Chains A and B, each alone.
Chain A
């Protein structure tokens, strides 16, 4: 084994991330009023008009080019790392072409919401408002009159299928499963953004000029030799254009950086303060160099990461979700070299990381759908992943891993979220540091992922070890191989809603429609297995519908969507020869491209079944009829029965009675969901079990359930967290329940949220005690564990007096968010999540 990188802990513990400079920049941003930014959408529209008739790949690339070459630039005084999303200190970008009707609605209501908050809405200059309205109107006029996704689905499956969707019966849920979807230029906003464009380590290391060169050569080769990879004329031509689009995008990106170099030089010329002048010239030098050529030092590497993140963001603008990736691995070689050459100290690096942090957090966008319906309210999901082991088993923790956590803890911004790939050989001092930073941060950051399990899942899918170890966190609770696969958001099925159908012979009491098959009137059931079987039958009926629905809608989106040249660049080794973007199958490991197939509400489902088994069939304390009547009345007048249901055994207490049912369902449900191949990949569909915040939305559509849940309450937040208030045997029991069943299948999600009071972490000894739980969780093959550490009183007070708790951060699913920015339902749910007090 290689010697682990030595870490100078004292030097790191003493760094000041928030230097006066960064404090000033942070304050300036916090105090700046959010503003709607329109230049990019206007440039996009202008470009689209100019490129009429050209292939869609070229049009998309040219639009990006126009935005990058003509958008206003901003370098703020004091900034070391540059590249701003908008010309405002705090601007929210958008593209009307993607959702013109929703934007028009905002324009007409005068209320502009932001992705991260609607406590304070976003202001807009009157002139911009007028321009935005005209832009939205243009796109409404030029949209196709019908949604081709809906038309295709209806043609193939009939219109009844729409009753199952999010805005109707809500059996299916998630992105792309709404009937009422604003039809933008590409039908559906999941079409181009759904899935992750991430900072590409390989591109950073090689420089984009290298990628451009590869594209040119491949095009020349195609013409000189023909191309065996392309099957058929259409695909040959498609590849030819896609590579051109890649070149246009990369060149525009490089020019965008050089525009910053020009601006910095110009500012330097006028600058009278010698120190600032020198900084500006250094910025100019860096932006002249990257991303076209590889960075020469740590400073240029950080600047390069910033620009990659920004460009991926701009390009996707509506659903950016751009993970930063394995930042410690990317930056460490540059840091090490600089340090050895005596060019940099940990303090210098800390300030640069802090500067990067502020720039990443600055990216905000205008979101037009109601907050309750968003998958991850309050989040922008620029995840950073740290640590892990390499193919030889070496621990990859390094000084940058330490510094990144320090930056997170000191800056205290809701994002980026940090994921630590924990493994048993990790330096205990680092785990301690991570938990200490978690306390300083105050919001359940970082989360710990099981390093070995993540890698094993890829090995099981046949990915060779050297690639399998290279995964990182993405989206709200997902993960993916670093620039080697496409990962998109999912279609989910609401398990508790399916149970509601099973308990009503396929009938949905809310929409008053027969949504599922007739599986028998449960009032006539004489055996518990009949209830389980009715459930499985409902699921077996619905899953193939969901498969087909997903195949048609997803593939229609992809077939019509813009095929990003930039994304080809990010995965250039594979996408250039394939002549396909990653989500079309151009990625090295294409099976993830059809997105996760998700399941929500497993804990509630299992607890409900447990209550039925115990109260109706084992102890005969009630009858199916009585129980269903009570549910239908939302327990009104049935308080005794409600109490019995709440008191029946619950998952999360290491209670065999409840866990046996959970274990059966958490095995059988995925089996049914994976019983068919995913037609788009020919492989078993990838499963996503859990929910970051979607549980609030789906909960609204579900009536009272036998686990004692009230109608409309959120379902349990993650696949293996415990029903709020129901884990009474303490954290080891909760972890045991959560780790009984097999995790090593190819699932994502399965996050374990635990909340401890602040007093838990006030001494090093207590931090060590929390560390034991991480170790044991990992040892029991748990996948994802995270800790919130607020007192209940603090949260209650924040609900009542949000004005006093603007900085209160909580970890929701895969991310931390400002508590006061969360929807009330989600707030209440967090308050109710069990407090593990250690007395």
Chain B
């Protein structure tokens, strides 16, 4: 696979209006080195294609069990259970599933194929000041693909936005930033120990990458997912705000309130959601967080 020509994509969302200015097409890449427990796109974590199973649609007909050459699915009372170790993601089960309960999540797509879809909405980008956003997963895990997709966009005058957790090699970031108009950059935890423990990655690399973005003078939006009891302490938010003021004082801060819309998708790809009992933010909590950023003169919005 030519890394600059083909990428692993799990979703392309058109009429995306919350991932940057205007009407956008967001290309979601598959594969992420982080394991944030609140992740709302668990199907984006595994870098390879996988079978996704929606039990609510399953009619328990057993067609998939019959057709699978590897014996991966078995029929249970609640539907099917998939032995992921056996599954070769050949797609035989998907083709026989009339209820559309099974699908393959993740497709290796060429730049041409992705770009053809992107182009379909050019008129909307133009009328709305929109463009293309690459999100994930982690886009820095597929820097060659993102860079060449963005280059293609820029050739046609389409605005580009890179949505990243900031976790990737400096070289990867360099490649992507060369064709990026706007960066959406996550900051979650400022305690290096907690960061490694909870998310599974070192904080210093993230901060180094944020400095690079600032040094390039590319406009940035800082995204702070606000996860009750995990990262919403005054201490942590103060630290994020101080860092923001120091490194990217012109950036807008977007607070992303915690939600559970993705919880159902964990089981679909054979993962377990661990935050079932976590309550959503109270309006007071959101206001408090917002106040912390605004008190330092930062522009701050709560996404809704």
Could you tell me which A residues sit within 8 Å of B by CB distance? Answer: 640, 643-644, 647, 654, 729-733, 736, 763, 769, 772-773, 775-776, 779-780, 838-839
Question: Is there a chain A Cβ closer than 8 Å to B88's Cβ?
Answer: no
Q: Which of A647, A763, A776, A839 contacts B124 (CB 8 A)?
A: A776
Q: Which residues of chain B are within 8 angstroms of A773 by Cβ–Cβ distance?
A: 23, 124
Taking CB as reference atom, which chain A residue is nearest B61? A640
Q: Please tell me if the beta carbons of A640 and B98 are within 8 angstroms of each other in the complex.
A: yes
Q: What's the Cα separation between A678 and B98 when bound, in Å? A: 48
* 16 contacting pairs across A/B (C-beta < 8 A): A640-B98, A643-B99, A643-B100, A644-B98, A729-B14, A730-B13, A730-B15, A732-B124, A733-B15, A772-B124, A772-B127, A772-B128, A775-B127, A776-B123, A776-B127, A839-B18
B17 with A838: CB separation less than 8 A: yes
- A729 to B117 CA separation, bound complex (whole angstroms): 11
Please report the C-alpha to C-alpha distance between residue A644 and residue B96 in the assembled complex, in whole angstroms: 11
| CB atoms of A647 and B100 under 8 A apart | yes
CB pair B14 A643 closer than 8 Å = no
Q: Which of B98, B99, B261 has its CB near the most chain A CB atoms (within 10 A)?
A: B98
Question: How many chain B residues touch the partner (CB < 8 A)?
Answer: 20
Q: B residues within 8 A CB of A643?
A: 98-100
- When each residue 98-137 of chain B gets 1 if its CB lies under 8 Å from chain A and 0 otherwise, what string results? 1110000000000000000000110110111010000000
* Contact yes or no, B121 A732, CB < 8 A: yes
Cβ-defined partner of B23 (8 Å) among A654, A736, A769, A839: A769
For the complex formed, measure the closest distance between the CB of B258 and the CB atoms of chain A, giving whole angstroms. Answer: 14
A residues less than 8 Å from B126 (CB atoms):
776, 779
A772: contacting residue among B22, B99, B100, B120, CB under 8 A: B22
Nearest A residue (CB) for B16? A730
User: Contacts A643-B98, A729-B14, A731-B15 hold; do A769 and B128 have CB atoms under 8 A apart?
Assistant: yes
Given contacts A644-B98, A839-B261, contact A769 B17 (CB under 8 A): yes
Assembled-state Cα–Cα distance A780/B23 (Å): 15
Q: How far is the CA of A780 from the CA of B13 in the complex (A)?
A: 21
Q: Which residues of A contact B130 (CB under 8 A)?
A: 772
Which parts of B1-60 form the interface with A (CB within 8 Å)? 13-15, 17-18, 22-23
For the complex, give the distance between the alpha carbons of A743 and B53 in Å: 42
- What residues of chain B have their CB less than 8 Å away from a CB belonging to chain A? 13-15, 17-18, 22-23, 98-100, 120-121, 123-124, 126-128, 130, 261, 304
A640 partner residues in chain B, CB cutoff 8 A: 98
* CB neighbours of B14 from chain A (8 A): 654, 729-730, 732-733
Residues of chain B lying within 8 A (CB to CB) of residue A644: 98
Q: List the A side residues contacting B304 at CB < 8 Å.
A: 763
Query: B18 contacts which chain A residues (CB < 8 A)?
Result: 838-839
A772 CB to closest chain B CB (Å) equals 4
Given A654-B120, A772-B127, A779-B123, also A732-B261 (CB < 8 A):
no
User: Are A732 and B100 within 8 A (Cβ)?
Assistant: no
Asked whether, in the complex, the Cβ of A780 is within 8 Å of the Cβ of B128, the reply is no
Interface core residue of A730, A731, A780 (most chain B CB under 10 Å): A730
Question: Smallest CB-CB separation from B130: which chain A residue?
Answer: A772
Complex CA gap A773/B127 in Å reads: 8
The CB with the most chain A CB atoms within 10 A, among B126, B127, B304, is that of: B127
Report B-chain residues with C-beta under 8 Å of the C-beta of A729: 14
Chain A residues contacting B13 (CB-CB under 8 Å) are: 730
Q: Closest approach, in angstroms, between the C-beta of A783 and any C-beta of chain B?
A: 16
Query: How many Å from the CB of B151 to the closest CB on chain A?
Result: 24
Query: How far, in angstroms, from A769 to B15 measured CA to CA in the complex?
Result: 10
Q: Enumerate the 5 nearest inter-chain pairs by beta-carbon distance, A residue then B residue, closest first.
A: A772-B128, A730-B15, A775-B127, A732-B15, A643-B98
Alpha-carbon distance between A729 and B304 when the two chains are bound, in angstroms: 22
Q: Is the beta-carbon distance between B127 and A732 smaller than 8 angstroms? A: no
Q: Which residue of B lies closest to A734 (CB)?
A: B15
- Provide the bound-state CA to CA distance between A838 and B127, in Å: 19
Determine the distance from Cα of A731 to Cα of B17 in the docked complex, in whole angstroms. Answer: 12
- CA separation between A100 and B29, bound complex, in Å? 70
Residues in chain B near residue A779, CB distance under 8 A: 123, 126-127
- Which residues of chain B come closer than 8 Å to A838, judged between CB atoms? 17-18
Chain B residue contacts of A733, Cβ below 8 A: 14-15, 120
Contacts of B99 in A (CB 8 A): 643
